[in-house]
Structure 1
């Protein structure tokens, strides 16, 4: 199965590439690497899972927020690479979690992205990763991700 078929089997689909709100690209390719700009769980223009994790956003919804942000990263990387069939591997995931003071479950939140990546690319797509708690993110989103992909 290709990535789009795997997404469909999970009840998901590739969203539209989010349009930048500033002077930048959604993703940029350099050689065989594709770097995504920070992406959130705004799917096709609809903002989801807004607020601080540990207060307005539950751990479960934060996990889904990371999953949806990964979907947007995938859409951006596919745009820059020329299609999902050009994406071969995931090199690094950098996740930021808008959370309350004292929150310590950042890695579990970013598992929402990592688990999706494994389902789409297989266990060999184990990647380097950071999960960082922050006191604020743009538009009060709960999670923002950057992902580096390898492409043909």
Structure 2
């Protein structure tokens, strides 16, 4: 990590995953802001990568993805003030969670925010809270 934190923490039957930026192979995918240098499609792909990174962090503290349920997803989208499609961007992570964990376990509560900037110029950051159900 680039700061003082754990990528994920497990306490009892809860797993809390810290914000994951859109890194793949050690680099930020499509750096910048939505509504400026980053397209909606690239933002969606970045959110999906954030979701992949979040699931990897969860697996690192639980050992498997089996029996995990998404309780809440929080998506931050670096964007211009005029950009308003934050939910469509964060769908990249939400749809990944649904596809990997299934309809019943992979869909939880969610919020999508627009922000001025994110760490390392990532276009998206995603955090997720999961419950161990089996």
TM-score by length of structure 1 reads 0.83
The ranges of structure 1 where at least 4 consecutive aligned residues each deviate by more than 3 angstroms after the TM superposition are none
TM-superposed deviation, 1:88: 1.8
Deviation per CA, 1:95-147: give whole Å up to 9, x if none.
00000112110000000011111111111132100000001111111000101
Q: Distance in 2 between matches of 1:46 and 1:136?
A: 17
CA distance in 1, matches of 2:16, 2:130: 7
Q: How many angstroms apart in 1 are the aligned matches of 2:9 and 2:68?
A: 16
Question: Is 1:57 aligned to residue 73 of structure 2?
Answer: no
The alignment status of 1:123 with 2:103, answered yes or no, reads yes
The answer as to whether partners of 2:10 and 2:61 remain within 8 angstroms in 1 is yes
1:47, CA displacement in angstroms? Answer: 1.6
CA contact (8 A) 2:28 2:121 kept: no
**Distance in 1 between residues matched to 2:52 and 2:98, nearest whole Å:** 13
- Measured after TM superposition, the shift of residue 78 of structure 1 is 0.5
Q: Structure 1: give runs of 5+ residues left out of the alignment.
A: 1-19
Which of 70, 73, 83 is the equivalent residue of 1:90? 70
Greater strand fraction, Structure 1 or Structure 2: 2
- What are structure 2's unaligned runs of at least 5 residues? none
Match of 1:102 in 2: 82
Structure scoring higher RCO (CA < 8 A, sep ≥ 6) equals 2
SS at match of 1:23: coil
Once the two structures are TM-superposed, the CA of residue 56 in structure 1 deviates from its matched residue by 0.6
Aligned-pair distance for 1:31? 1.1
Superposed, which structure 2 residues align to 1:2-151 within 5 Å?
20-85=1-66, 87-124=67-104, 125-151=106-132
**In the comparison of the two structures, how many residue pairs are matched?**
132
